[in-house]
């Protein structure tokens, strides 16, 4: 029964040797120390994420600096009125920020003829959906809109009884 290791296959013995080991007793203070070290490592942000954010900030700074120079030229222009200047500066900043804005995904309803292919006339990011997905998305939006409001059940008005003729 127990201790009969002669009859067991080699692969089983290796497996037992690998996984059935006696647990080493560790002091709780040491365990806490190692856990704290791991926490510090896990909290730290990933290097490439930090670099990507820094690149994005640098790009934004450069774009805003260029836009600011152009805006100064517009504001110093004496020929334009204050309203026109404000409109031009607003347009300039909007145009400068356009590449950084995330483009909205267009939903394209699939039909049998263009199943899985990008239809003509669709530019930018898109997502192919079928009718069921479209209905599900509509229902989810309805639920979200309804969540904030108090739902009061409307009762239908009772039909009036007709007076009998005598």
| Domain residue ranges of the chain, discontinuous segments joined by + | 25-101, 102-145
Q: Which residues of the chain have pLDDT under 70?
A: 1-3, 113-116, 150-155, 166
pLDDT given at position 91: 93
**Residue 24 vs residues 28, 31, 97, 112: alpha-carbon distances, Å:** 12, 12, 59, 64
Cα gap 80→94, rounded to integer Å: 19
Helix (H) / strand (E) element for 7: namely: none
pLDDT given at position 116: 65
pLDDT given at position 151: 59
pLDDT given at position 150: 65
């Amino acid at each position: 029964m127990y201790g009969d290791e002669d009859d067991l296959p080699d692969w089983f013995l290796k497996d037992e040797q690998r996984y059935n080991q006696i647990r080493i007793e560790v002091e709780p203070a040491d365990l806490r120390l190692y856990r704290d070290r791991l926490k510090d490592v896990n909290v730290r942000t990933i290097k490439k994420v930090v670099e990507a954010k820094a690149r994005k900030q640098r790009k934004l700074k450069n774009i805003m600096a260029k836009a600011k120079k152009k805006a100064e030229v517009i504001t110093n222009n004496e020929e334009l009125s204050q309203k026109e200047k404000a409109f031009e500066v607003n347009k300039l900043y909007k145009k400068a920020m356009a590449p950084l804005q995330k483009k909205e995904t267009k939903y394209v309803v699939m039909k049998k003829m263009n199943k899985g292919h990008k239809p003509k006339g669709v530019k930018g990011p898109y997502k192919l959906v079928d009718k069921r997905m479209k209905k599900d998305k509509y229902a989810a939006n309805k639920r979200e809109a309804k969540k904030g409001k108090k739902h009061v059940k409307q009762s239908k008005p009772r039909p009036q009884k007709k007076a009998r003729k005598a």
